[in-house]
Structure 1
Amino acid sequence: MADIPTVSDLFRAKVIGEEEIDAAVTACVAGTAKEPFVFADVYEVDLASAVAAIPRAHERLHDPEASEFLKRIAIRTAIMLARPEKRWIA
């Protein structure tokens, strides 16, 4: 079984672009990420689960005193560490 790449691995391989990562971070911080986020029309990540997997990111996101910058950095880290699932399109 092959290792499942992280979002960071896919970013370094230029499969996922900076704009997509920024859009995912923005959706998560804004609280509009209700559906899995799709990267490169192939990979999807449940952003809420990605954030929940990193306790510090979850704390920052829900801290009313945390700055927008700190929230974005924490969420970006959680997303970059996430292992997306490949979409199966029929």
Structure 2
Amino acid sequence: MTEKLTTAALCKLNLISQEEVAAAVETYLSNSMAPPFVFREGYRLDLGKAVRRHPGANDFVNRGNTGPLMKRPFILAAILEARPLRE
């Protein structure tokens, strides 16, 4: 398989858990400049880059008047649609 799968696809294959995705969202919320997030199966994802590349998330997260509860679903969408790299 030469195509890199999305985080959502890796979740469906049980290579990344929902708990790990939730932890990645919390990591981004606590530090948008965090180093790449490493999932247990060796996949890594630059969370900041995932959010920047997702048009809806990037626009919404960078609004100054939105709190973490409103940002969370956009960050989640960006992470699920991103394509982590395998170490």
Q: Same fold, TM exceeding 0.5?
A: yes
C-alpha RMSD of the superposition: 1.6
The Cα offsets for residues 15-45 of structure 1, whole Å up to 9 and x where unpaired, read as 1111100110011112255211011241000
Question: Could you say if the C-alpha distance between residues 19 and 33 of structure 1 is closer, same or farther in structure 2, counting changes exceeding 3 Å?
Answer: farther
Distance in 2 separating the partners of 1:61 and 1:29: 10
Q: Name the SS of the counterpart of 1:40 in structure 2.
A: coil
Gaps of 5+ in 2: none
Distance in 2, Cα, partners of 1:68 & 1:32? 12
Task: Write the distance in 2 (CA, Å) between the matches of 1:75 and 1:33.
Answer: 14
**Segments of 4+ moved more than 4 angstroms:** none
Q: Give the count of matched residue pairs.
A: 87
* Conserved 8 A contact 1:37-1:47: yes
> Residue 38 of structure 2: SS of its match in structure 1?
strand
Which has the larger displacement, 58-67 or 14-23? 58-67
Q: CA deviation at 1:58?
A: 1.5
Identity over aligned residues, as a percent? 32
TM-score calculated relative to the size of structure 2: 0.88
TM-score (norm 1): 0.85
Counterpart contact for 1:27–1:33, Cα < 8 Å: no
CA drift of 1:66 comes to 1.9
